[in-house]
Amino acid sequence: MHLPTGPQTPAFLQILRWVFSPMSYMEACAKTYGDTFSLKLDTNSDPIFFTSNPQAIQQILTSDTKELEAPGELNSLFEFLLGKKSVITISGAEHQRQRQLMMPPFHGERMRSYSQVITDVTAKVINQYQVGETLNIRSITQDITLRVIMQAVFGLDEGPRAEKLQELLGKLLEKGSSRLIVFLLYFPSLQRDFGPIDLWGQQMRLQAETDNLIYAEIQERRENPDPSRTDILSLLMAARDEAGQPMTDEELHDELITLLVAGHETTATALAWALYWIHKLPSVRQKLLAEIDDLAENPDSNTVFKLPYLNAVFSETLRIYPVAMLTFPRQVKMPISIGGYDLEPGTVALGSIYLTHHREDIYPEPKKFKPERFLEQQFSPYEYLPFGGGARRCIGLAFAQLEMKLAIVKILSSLELELVDNGDIAAQRRGLVTSPDRPIKMIVKSNLQVKSRSLETVAL
Ligand code: HEM
């Protein structure tokens, strides 16, 4: 085996740096060892192959499954939250089957129904705020994305069960995002319930409460089927695989929690970053407002989706601070040479999305927010990959894109916001993803509702 070099410090110290400052650790490694290096993030197994080389990433994401696989077992870090039957934690044929059952709600026609939900929920959330109020932007984007995903998944964001579920999910993700919980994930022997003051125990109890509510909803739907419902839960309950089999309750539960978690946290953070950059850089805001002002009265969501400058802002937001730092891990099945390194079966390979997006040779001045790069140049799917690629490419890519773009247009055409301070905000770890390292605070300067346009839905 010929693995790239990497830090020689004990695994425990590497894990500590990885948990507490993953991006600066990756940057330091890239500076010392080049675009491909290895890190020891498990006290019992071989070092992990990290790369930000687009050719190597292409190979990792697209190789035949006989050579490289994306086994769900390697995502076991997510199992505590998502379960054993989540599309994220299963592998091979089972993964393919679940993905096929889950894809239809995220395609073309189906997206149409979500446009109105997104615009309505965004309006409902921002209408609560008055001129002069100071807002914590991430709380607002989290409120929007949680309500939107609840509507999309269950067809409701109101009512006692929906409200309880929203409250529990909020708490669950808040606690699950602590770096201490991430630390415990790397040391399973410490994942024990030590009583009421224990962090891990609290997390487990919150999860049990959430699980009960989701199972109760599944049970109720089974007892009172309503064929007119078009929410994702109804579609998943009606779906059949090639053998004509429906999903089990456990599969349904794990996929629902997966969509609620994956579809809400990530998009909330990305939307918060977009609003930060738009208000931090006056020229970006002006160009975006000019594009929005040029829209016809009552623009349809398809038109909004295709706005070039809005698309460039969306793309640059996920370039500079990708919410997911890494692709999911892939594992070598047969001896293979990647980026000049001969890897043996069992080796785990990761594409560093963060480092790839910060390559000076692909993105000159990578630390600067410059949407124009996406107007001037097209990047390959292995140079720009905020949603990963290949067999595990993000299922919610189009959903997240639609949600962010419609919400940005709705917010900018409804409220004039100003950052409370113009200091820089950087990215830090939040659970298994990233987020701003301090709250993004803005003041509502004026309410532009009179000028606001209502976005009509059309098929995408
Ligand atoms: C800005 C928002 C989002 C970002 C940056 C993001 C990013 C990612 C990334 C990097 C992966 C791993 C891909 C790979 O390893 O190749 C992934 C997988 C996944 N994402 Fe997203 N995601 C976002 C929003 C969503 C939404 C809205 C949903 C659903 C409603 C979703 C559902 C999923 C699921 C189910 C997977 C697992 C796919 C599989 O294992 O087959 N994501 N996402």
Question: How remote is the CA of residue 328 from the centroid of ligand 1, in Å?
Answer: 10
- Report the 10 Å Cβ neighbour count for 164: 13
Q: Is the pLDDT of residue 417 over 60?
A: yes
Which range among 70-79, 387-396, 451-460 shows the weakest confidence by mean pLDDT?
A: 451-460
- Measuring from atom 6 of ligand 1, which residue has the nearest CA? 387
Closest CA to 449 of 127, 124, 119, 125: 127
23: pLDDT strictly greater than 50: yes
pLDDT digits (tens, 9 = 90+) for 138-150: 999 999 999 999 9
Short-list 256, 252, 384, 273, CA closest to 323: 273
Query: What's the rounded Cα separation, in Å, for the pair 153 and 176?
Result: 21
- CB atoms < 10 A from the CB of 244, how many? 6
User: How many Cα atoms sit within 13 Å of 205 on the Cβ side?
Assistant: 11
The model's confidence at residue 157, banded by pLDDT at 50, 70 and 90, is low
* Residue 454: pLDDT over 50: no
Strand pairing class (415-419; 348-351): unpaired
Contact indicator for 255, 247 with CB cutoff of 8 Å: yes
3-state SS class at 84:
coil
Q: What value does the mean pLDDT take over residues 174-195?
A: 59
Asked if residue 269 has its Cβ within 6 Å of ligand 1, the reply is no
Atom 30 in ligand 1: residue holding the nearest Cα: 263
CA triplet 357, 27, 332: central angle to 5 degrees? 75
pLDDT bin (cut points 50, 70, 90) of residue 156 is: confident
pLDDT over threshold 70, residue 186: no
User: What are 275's two structure tokens?
Assistant: 């609003």
The kind and range of the H/E element at 80 are: helix 79-82
CATH number of 11-451: 1.10.630.10
Mean pLDDT of 241-258: 92
Return the higher-pLDDT residue of 94 and 432.
Answer: 94
Cα 146 from Cα 264, distance rounded (Å): 5
Task: Answer whether 270 contacts ligand 1 (Cβ < 6 A).
Answer: yes
Quick check: CB of 389 below 6 Å from ligand 1? yes
- Report DSSP letters for 110-166, one per residue: HHHHHHHHHHHHHHHHHTT--TT-EEEHHHHHHHHHHHHHHHHHHS-S-SHHHHHHH
pLDDT given for residue 188 in this prediction = 59
Residue type, 287: K
96 Cβ closer than 6 Å to some ligand 1 atom: no
Shortest-distance atom of ligand 1 to CA 328: 15
The percent of residues above 90 in pLDDT, for the chain, comes to 62
Q: What is the pLDDT of residues 51-104, one digit of tens each?
A: 999 999 999 999 888 888 888 887 777 787 888 999 999 999 999 999 999 988
Whether the CB of 386 sits within 6 Å of ligand 1: yes
Contact 50, 352 (CB under 8 A): yes
CB-count burial class (<10 Å; 0-12, 13-18, 19+) for 355: buried
Give the residue whose CA is nearest to atom 37 of ligand 1: 88
Cα of 315 from ligand 1 centre, angstroms: 15
Q: Is the pLDDT of residue 266 over 60?
A: yes
pLDDT of amino acid 460: 44
The answer to whether 274 and 404 are in contact (CB under 8 A) is yes
Between CA 79 and CA 86 the distance in angstroms is 8
Judge if the beta carbon of residue 399 lies within 6 A of ligand 1: yes
Query: Is a pLDDT exceeding 50 seen at residue 44?
Result: yes
Q: In what order do the strands lie in the sheet with 415-419?
A: 134-136, 441-447, 415-419
Centroid of ligand 1 to alpha carbon of 118 (angstroms): 19
The helix/strand/coil state of 2 is: coil
The pLDDT of residue 346 is above 60: yes
Q: What pLDDT shows up at residue 197?
A: 52
pLDDT of residue 368 exceeding 50, the answer is yes
In this prediction the pTM is 0.91
Binding site membership of 326 for ligand 1 (Cβ less than 6 Å): no
pLDDT at residue 193 above 60? no
Start-end of H helices in 177-280: 179-186, 199-223, 232-238, 249-262, 265-280
Check pLDDT > 80 for residue 206.
yes
- Which residues have C-beta within 8 Å of that of residue 48, sequence separation ≥ 6? 38, 39, 40, 41, 42, 329, 348, 349, 350
257 CB near ligand 1 (under 6 Å)? no
Any ligand 1 atom below 6 A from CB of 434: no
Residue 426 CA: distances (Å) to CA of 20, 36, 186, 440, 454: 14, 24, 25, 11, 34
Report the pLDDT averaged over residues 333-351.
Answer: 93
Q: How far apart are CA 79 and CA 92, in angstroms?
A: 17
CB 246 within 8 A of CB 255: no
Are 139 and 269 a contacting pair, CB within 8 Å?
no
Percentage of the chain beyond pLDDT 70 is 91
Distance CA 303, CA 300 (A): 5
Distance between CA atoms of 109 and 34, rounded to whole angstroms?
Answer: 45
Does residue 332 surpass a pLDDT of 90?
yes
Ligand 1 contact via 263 beta carbon (within 6 Å):
yes
Using most ligand atoms within 8 A of CB, pick from 106, 147, 387 the residue to mutate for ligand 1: 387
| Residue 452 CA, ligand 1 centroid: distance in Å | 31
Ligand 1 center to 222 CA (angstroms):
28
Predicted confidence (pLDDT) per residue in 307-322, tens digit: 999 999 999 999 999 9
Say if residue 169's pLDDT is above 80. yes
Is the model's pLDDT at 130 over the cut of 70? yes
Ligand 1, atom 13, residue with closest C-alpha: 388
**Any atom of ligand 1 within 6 Å of the Cβ of 374:** no
